């Protein structure tokens, strides 16, 4: 039956239920595997729409096995290549994509650990180092953890997803402190640049700070932020979003004072939540920038977050650098696991100084 409007997750769910599941049950009845819609694609986050179907669209699924069954991966790939139909629910099973121009099936088969490594750029494990955590992007983790699992008899798939649930406490504090440090450094210039006839720069700073505060909201809600296309949609799903949307919307106003007021109001809401979560957060909060008529975040805010950290890597790193997403904004770095892996060497170089 042709279902052109079928959402990606539901297409994948049906594809497993009606095709992949029965095939594996018949041909490999003792195989322990997990099947889900993981990896890249708007549908993994449940954000796909009709426009999403103009490229890389068809029956996609990820099949994962435990490391002990890793030797069967080629066997499974050959089975799928031989037995899969041409279409399912009116959608192609074999089709080219932007990363694979061959018209082959797009059922990825891997071990749970190998799949995660291909997305993260490092081997997942229960005790990642602080620097390893800092090299990860929210999008890369979501590609492993956000999509639904339709079937799972493995012992490692959910374990890997649990390992990537959230930062360890010291890393969380370091990244959150770095986020506030960014706001501290830039907020006073919203007014200063406007009053020095740099209105365009003032607007750019306002928009940059809007994203910085939205990222703090993700951190305080302990949610991984997706890449730019779906950042706002995921942000609006955060519990505090309703209290932040209005003040952050003020940052597009034509008067820098209104923009600054909106940024300050959003920052106060975030600081309130931060206190409620039990983070040491001085009452100083938002203060005047020296004797000038501009706002800034009190330096005691990031300092209080850094003070309890004991991890030796984090205490040796310069304060304020943060995670890779806080100092790199180049898509050709952030979207490539092997390039992100290289930044670990940069962190280690900073440690050696």
Is 33 a residue whose pLDDT tops 50?
yes
d(CA 289, CA 194): 15
**Model confidence over 180-226: pLDDT tens digits?**
999 999 999 999 999 999 999 999 999 999 999 999 999 999 999 99
CB 33 within 8 A of CB 157: no
Give the residue among 171, 152, 262 at the shortest CA–CA distance from 213: 262
**Which residues have a Cβ under 8 Å from the Cβ of 68 and sit 6 or more positions away?**
none
The average confidence (pLDDT) of the chain is 94
**Which residues have a Cβ under 8 Å from the Cβ of 10 and sit 6 or more positions away?**
none
DSSP helix/strand/coil, 40: coil
Is 269 a residue whose pLDDT tops 70?
yes
Give the residue among 163, 167, 63, 162 at the shortest CA–CA distance from 112: 63
Q: What value does the mean pLDDT take over residues 113-120?
A: 98
Which pLDDT band, with edges at 50, 70 and 90, does 2 fall under?
Answer: very low
pTM of the full structure: 0.94
For position 302, what pLDDT does the model report? 96
DSSP lists the bridge partners of residue 36 as: 62, 149
Is 166 a residue whose pLDDT tops 90?
yes
For position 250, what pLDDT does the model report? 95
Return the axis-axis angle of helices 199-220 and 241-249, rounded to nearest 10°.
Answer: 180
DSSP helix/strand/coil, 166: coil
**Model confidence over 53-76: pLDDT tens digits?**
777 788 999 999 999 999 999 999
For position 5, what pLDDT does the model report? 61
d(CA 104, CA 84): 10
User: Distances in Å between the alpha carbon of 108 and those of 38, 66, 81, 174?
Assistant: 9, 14, 11, 36
DSSP helix/strand/coil, 249: helix
Which pLDDT band, with edges at 50, 70 and 90, does 101 fall under?
Answer: confident
């Amino acid at each position: 039956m042709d279902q052109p409007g079928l959402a990606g997750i539901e297409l994948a769910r049906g594809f497993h239920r009606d095709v992949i599941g029965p095939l594996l049950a018949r041909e490999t009845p003792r195989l322990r595997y997990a099947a889900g819609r993981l990896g890249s694609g708007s549908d993994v986050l449940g954000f796909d729409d009709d426009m999403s179907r103009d490229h890389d669209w068809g029956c996609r699924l990820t099949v994962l096995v435990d490391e002990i069954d890793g030797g069967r991966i080629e066997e499974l790939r050959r089975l799928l290549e031989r037995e899969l139909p041409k279409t399912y629910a009116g959608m192609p099973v074999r089709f080219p994509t932007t990363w694979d121009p061959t018209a082959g099936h797009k059922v990825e088969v891997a071990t749970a650990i190998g799949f995660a490594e291909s997305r993260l750029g490092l081997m997942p494990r229960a005790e990642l180092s602080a620097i390893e955590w800092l090299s990860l992007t929210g999008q890369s983790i979501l590609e492993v953890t956000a999509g639904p699992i339709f079937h799972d008899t493995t012992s490692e798939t959910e374990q890997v997803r649990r390992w990537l649930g959230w930062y360890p406490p010291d890393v969380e504090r370091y990244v959150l402190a770095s986020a506030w440090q960014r706001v501290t450094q830039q907020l006073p210039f919203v007014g200063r640049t406007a009053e020095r006839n740099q209105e365009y720069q003032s607007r750019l700073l306002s928009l940059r700070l809007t994203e910085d505060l939205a990222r703090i909201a993700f951190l305080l809600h302990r949610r991984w932020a997706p890449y730019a296309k779906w950042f706002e949609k995921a942000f609006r799903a955060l519990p505090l979003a309703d209290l932040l949307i209005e003040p952050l919307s003020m940052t597009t106003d034509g008067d820098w004072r209104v923009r600054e007021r909106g940024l300050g109001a959003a920052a106060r809401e975030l600081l309130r939540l931060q206190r409620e979560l039990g983070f040491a957060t001085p009452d100083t909060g938002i203060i005047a920038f020296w004797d000038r008529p501009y706002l800034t975040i009190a330096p005691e805010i990031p300092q209080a977050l850094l003070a309890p950290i004991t991890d030796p890597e984090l205490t040796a790193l310069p304060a304020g650098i943060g995670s890779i997403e806080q100092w790199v904004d180049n898509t050709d770095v952030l979207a490539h696991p092997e390039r992100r892996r290289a930044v670990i060497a940069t962190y280690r170089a900073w440690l050696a100084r």
